Structure 1
Amino acid sequence: MSVNAGAGLDRLPLSGFHRLIMWLIGIGMFFDGFDIYVASTVLGATLKSGFSTLGQNALFVSLTFLGMMLGSLATGFLGDRYGRRFTYRTNLMVFGLASLGAALAPDMAVLIACRFMMGLSLLAENVVGYSTLTEFAPPASQGKLQGLMAVFAVSGLPVAGLIGLLLIPVLGWRGMFVLGGVGAICVWYARKSLRESPRWLESARHDKETEAILSAIEREV
């Protein structure tokens, strides 16, 4: 029997179920934004302490953006092939572990390599985050929810600056990566409760699973 996941989701009213999705995805995007901006505080500290040179700092920034470009491109294909849930959880795990690895880096070469791995998942979080929210949210509420998610992402800038101002003099620059990594892994664990997108399941012809998840969502709304 064919299941129309889009029509089933679109007719649901905005509820706590949709707000939970927005919060869980939004918090992940906050840490994504936090870590994009953390370079501005970390690189000053590594340069001042002699851990890095200006050339290494430039390479750090360049490979960050190269990783972001490659990661955002790959995420779209991975999301279509393996599903939204797999992609956004894998993305956060890679980011979290790479961030913790950066905190333990013995030299700038290792830090740059970890940063490249982090870059692969940084912009990818935006790609999979917005697409996942759009596939769950009712059409009339998508603009509002996406706007709120954008606030989560851009709030990473002032928060990263403020925390860097307070944390780096006490714990050093490594503490910034520990904070970002632990936060990402906590969000990865919290996202275990999120279901796979019924729209993706329908496109992948998993009709029975699509019907089961739609029924479960309707009971929660």
Structure 2
Amino acid sequence: MTPVPDSPYARALGERIDELHPRLRAYFSAVPDGAVGIGEGVFHVVGTPRRWLWPVLRVLERRRVVAGVWERDVPFRVENRTIASRAIGERTFRFTRGPWVMRDAVALTRHGRVLDELGEPGLIAACFDVDVRDGALHLTSRAVGVRLGRLRIRVPRLIAPVVRLTERFDDAIDRQQVALTIDAPLLGRVYEYRGDFEYRVPHIAEVPRTAEKEQSA
């Protein structure tokens, strides 16, 4: 049997992965071949209440990066796979106006940090420091870049947004919790989502094929 390669998160953390809550260790480990990680839950908030930002965000929305909305209690589904040692994620948000899909791919940099490429085709990239505190995983961006054609241009630090992601497990409700924030210099909070979900890793043959297949939404 071919061994499953470590996920980029596991390689970035090294021995510190044992400090994660056991349910988070399963989430941030590699998904075996022939399986898919599935999370289903609700985002309590998604987007930004600053409506003047929505036209800008909707440009990114069309590229599967972020959505130009401000909604509460949004059902969502995440599907995780490990492909060529990268963590590939697809999140379907069920907004009131219809489903929308966000895509990303996470790899390990030569400096031992995680690089998350968001959208199509990797339009935005953020490089993160990885930390574990009280059993939770914390990611904080060190650099953000934008793809222009074949070029990757780093956003100058003085104007670069800061992305923070926290994943923890709440034993009291037996659900995983996630919170992401994006803060820009001078503007403050420009985007966020937070919610909770249940997660499992079934064999792909056990996952019903739905007629909806909302990737194209």
TM range (shorter): under 0.3
Greater Rg by CA = 1
- Higher percent of residues as helix: 1
TM-score of the pair, normalised by structure 2: 0.24
- Higher percent of residues as strand: 2
